[in-house]
Structure 1
Amino acid sequence: MKNYSFHVGIDISKLKLDVVLIDKRNTKIKEHFVVTNNTKGLERITSLLKKWGIDFKQTLFCFENTGVYTFPLSCFCFEKKYDYWIVPAVEIKRSKGISRGKSDKSDAKDIAFYSIRNIDKLQLSSVPEKAIQQLKLLFTEREKLKKTLLIFKATKENKGFTPTDVYKTVETHNKKTIKFLEASLKVIESKMRDIIKQDLKLKRQFQLIKSIKGVGEKTAIYFIIATKGFNVFASARKLACYAGVAPFEYSSGSSIRGGTKVNHMADKTMKSLLQMCALSAVRHDAQLKAYYLRKQDEGKNKMLVLNNVRCKIIGRIFAVINRDSPFVDTYKFVA
């Protein structure tokens, strides 16, 4: 494990970055300054650290994942080849313990101290490939269009319950809007397919995931996006935790014996997609269907068994990616 001499905590907002530099030798704030969240401000971070004689090879930059506002800083660190660590905001918040008051400076300080205390958890971050960035944005737009379509299609519920002349005032406009949205949805889905076809690695991963029964096109694309081309999660168990389908024990001492259950913190989109995959798999995959029926006969809860199927699907996805070969249904060879 690399031993860093300096830790830089950065609190990110839309317009500015609060930067705190801590020297690990005395764990006191060495410097605090504020820069704008743009190219000019990012270059100022480098110039100020150079001015103070900071060795960038011995410096770790740490900041929260605040979505799109984080992207310029992560790209900057990646291009400069700085070591940087993007941490979920909830993890830093829970690591602080009891705290009173809040400011951007104190938040930056807490982020820097987090990187010092939790150095054993360090996973250096990197910017995903351009194709994955494009897929992520397109998938987000697709989800927005789907939700909008549902809203506009709900207008049809008025038909037959409101006077005909009243309903006709919006019917034509509603049909045109739905037609436009459906056409836009097809264009976005076509672009996503084209991006995957043009990237040999992503195309191979897409084909491998799709070889698993129950896993559709949208799920395969989302797995590629969420795992950044399977470069983020080291094991199927870690991905299952992220998806919110990994079971955990809940017990304490001799009196508390809670049932094993999943945690509410999860990627809800992935969890929803996996649920649809599980429902499809128990109908069309002979092995998972037999497992599902056997567990139900044993008196297991239906949702518990479906969650187990979701975990098995994640395991299969990791297996086909790791061995770089399509899924083989060995169950059909069983006598």
Structure 2
Amino acid sequence: MNKFKHFLGIDVSKEYFDAVVILNGNNKKTFHNQFTNDFKGIRSLCKWLKDQDATFDNTLVCLEHTGMYSKLIIKYLTGYNFSLWVEMSLKIIRSIGVQRGKNDKVDAERIAYYAMKNADEATIYKAPSMSVEKIRKLLSLRDKLTTTKACLIRNVKELKTFDLELSKLLDKFQKNTIKGIEEDLKKIEKQLDELIIEDENINKIFNQATSVPGIGKITALFLICFTNEFTLYSNPRQLACYAGVVPFEYTSGKSVRAKPKVHYMANKKLKKQLHLCALCAATYDSEIKEYYQRKVAEGKNKMLVLNNVRNKLIHRVCACIREDKMYEKRQIA
């Protein structure tokens, strides 16, 4: 039996958010209101909830993950000690069944109903530390700058084949831009190093993760950010599923017999980083290299084996964090 009497669903947009509260677990007894998406609006929400006798200790608040638009609500409601459940929109949509039509009020009501129906499975939001927030933003900016730099260089290289004079002209104009991006990337790398050193827990986790052969600096930081310092997933398989490296069976009756395959719903950034790590480990780590070559020699598909390596890396990192020690290679007698 869960401790919550009331269930609040919030549908967030840029300027406003709609709130629907279900009182005493009775979905026939709902109240709706709309507030501005700012501190004044959040204070009005708290006052409105108090009038409904819905307080921080008896109310479960549920909202969809909408990026920056929900940051203010999450920040202040956690500050007011509300139990907050930040859920994937797709999970909410698919759990409700066939629905026709939508508006902000209806969406907020559906979120509230989802929270009430699945309260026993609620994952209470734990705010990341300031260091993790900074690392996440710096990694995002680093990714954008790296992509921009690669795009500029690629365009000039491709143009050389067709128009050498024009490619030289473009190269001349974008040279300072690329130089500026490279300088900014160096500053970001330096700032990331400082943040790792300053936070004792992040520094410990980072060193443990990077002790696994193949896991580099950026991948370790991605893992720290996406797992909130390895607190969001209770076992390695859950994290591997989130990263999209676990194959699932796909059969039905006698007619459908497809090969096991990974699911398309995954954290693509993390999956990409793990793929690069797997390639590195299969090239330079003797144990993984021997495993990779043996499986390929047995006739296994190379991408299948690489996916197994990605899975192995996640399990090794999680084992290091769980056991609170650096990775050690097995000694073969």
Gap change, CA 1:120 and 1:256, over 3 Å in 2: farther
The answer for the alignment partner of 1:104 in structure 2 is 104
1:49-198 matches, cutoff 5 A: 49-154=49-154, 155-159=156-160, 161-164=162-165, 166-198=166-198
Query: Aligned partners of 2:181 and 2:91: how far apart in 1?
Result: 38
Query: Aligned partners of 2:170 and 2:285: how far apart in 1?
Result: 45
| DSSP 3-state at the match of 1:57 | coil
| DSSP 3-state at the match of 1:63 | strand
Deviation of 1:167 after TM superposition, in Å, equals 3.9
Cα RMSD (Å) of the superposition? 1.4
| DSSP 3-state at the match of 1:11 | strand
Query: Aligned partners of 1:44 and 1:277: how far apart in 2?
Result: 49
The answer for the alignment partner of 1:12 in structure 2 is 12
The answer for the alignment partner of 2:320 in structure 1 is 320
Which residue identity does 1:72 align to in structure 2?
L
Aligned length in residues: 332
1:281-296 matches, cutoff 5 A: 281-296=281-296
TM-score by length of 1: 0.96
Query: Aligned partners of 1:26 and 1:223: how far apart in 2?
Result: 40
The answer for the alignment partner of 1:334 in structure 2 is 332
Gap change, CA 1:160 and 1:307, over 3 Å in 2: closer
Runs of 5+ unmatched residues, structure 1: none
| DSSP 3-state at the match of 1:18 | strand
TM-score by length of 2: 0.96
Query: Aligned partners of 2:111 and 2:322: how far apart in 1?
Result: 34
Query: Aligned partners of 1:149 and 1:42: how far apart in 2?
Result: 41
The answer for the alignment partner of 2:303 in structure 1 is 303
Deviation of 1:61 after TM superposition, in Å, equals 0.3
User: Is 1:258–2:264 an aligned residue pair?
Assistant: no
Deviation of 1:29 after TM superposition, in Å, equals 4.2
Gap change, CA 1:328 and 1:76, over 3 Å in 2: same
Greater shift, 125-134 or 44-53, is seen at: 44-53
Identity of aligned residues (%): 38
* Maintained 8 Å contact 1:282/1:292: yes
String of CA shifts for 1:178-211, please: whole Å, max 9, x gaps.
1111111111111111111100110111111111
Which residue identity does 2:292 align to in structure 1?
Y
String of CA shifts for 1:222-242, please: whole Å, max 9, x gaps.
111111111111111000010
Query: Aligned partners of 2:27 and 2:164: how far apart in 1?
Result: 73
Runs of 5+ unmatched residues, structure 2: none
